[in-house]
Structure 1
């Protein structure tokens, strides 16, 4: 296989590989590093026996991501305040035309799911991503991970049980989420506390991720009595040249807040029964770099 052909094949499958790596790692930089390592192994290795390039590349990427997850956990990394995944602009484009399939992909990349995945073991996470996001059969996942099929099914069962127990259920209607996001933004910027409070569910949660590098709550805020006043106070703070941009982030509508044309924060709402159930705010500047040109 010529070098150009090898490059073409790899680039054809790069979006899938990046999707696997990002869902497993929750960090774009780590995911891109893993995909780059997969490319080096693909371009520099013997490909003569590879009959299914996509399956081969997904296997290599998955194993590399599992190794990266183990390294991260073994370093005993500490994080200041709540952790959220790095926001990723999602545009499935024409590669995923089916609405149901798009919904599955969006769900498996959502903040709510990725936060729960962070508590799974690397192998559980790999099995969940390959099975739930990309629909690989158990036998194929077992071959990729060099595990027995029965063991893979057990891993999948544990992961699914964990997700079902810890992941809240939200409406996935993007139109409703976009409408509520627009109304929320208007109420917050207008200082309309009454209007803001009316949008919050009784058990609303606010998760702020700053990594200790910007101002954000160091604990999860719960209840309208805590979330509403905090949001209004944050909106009243003087920020130079403030502007807003709507994006699709992690499978749903979000707002990128810019200060002087540079990313200041990004926020996204999860909606249930027409009210805001969860509010995610990311202000860690390290996680906003990829949105500078969004």
Structure 2
């Protein structure tokens, strides 16, 4: 329980740490001791060198996820353009085959702004919470959010420029997201307006795709510029309260990414590609609590770490059922 609470605390900005003496299981202790033997140290170095020479890297889950983002958002576009009423509205609030669906973060702001609990919003929020609880909370970010896809491409450009030495990443404290979540909720309560929705790039991009571009896209371009030239994944990592809300929703979700300590050679390829790398500190030598563990609730279930790990130490799984891949 203590280790689970630490994972939750990391979502709110706490720094990752190693498992303490009282938290480490006997199985994990034995594996760590075995890995420190000279033979195993030499073997790990050999494996890592081979991986770097072979450039082993899959894009399976990334490609499936990109297709998911495109298809989900295309459903809104097609439904509106051809008036088929399959999906009405936008990602922040919609109806799917007549069922109300509402982003929990937006719904909470609306109820705070109007000082009223609205039945349609409660129903829509409950539907969305159940859906994203099943697939893992922040999976919304990487599997449905259109801004996330744009930000991922911006990140690729940032990394290219960084390798050339033309830009440098400027990280912020992850606790900033928690502060801003409280600020936006307070503003909704005090002003009667959902202030965050005016600057929310998720809603802006979703509405632009469905109803056509507006001047608000200049704000989206500005945010992407920050992510390319100044701070890698700035909005998603340090600002967006939507990710925090979904992270809470999916803290105990069935779909998880499982980590197998015994298979891991600790080369760090997973952390290099992770969209929220603090959740993968567990893969560092000496950090794991157990021989088999699950990545924390801030994980977006993007699958990049699964693609990047040739040892298959990270896999998608449904807790209590055999692994998916």
After TM superposition, the score normalised by the length of structure 2 is: 0.28
Relative to its length, the structure with more strand (as a share) is 1
Higher RCO structure, 1 or 2 (CA under 8 Å, sep 6+): 2
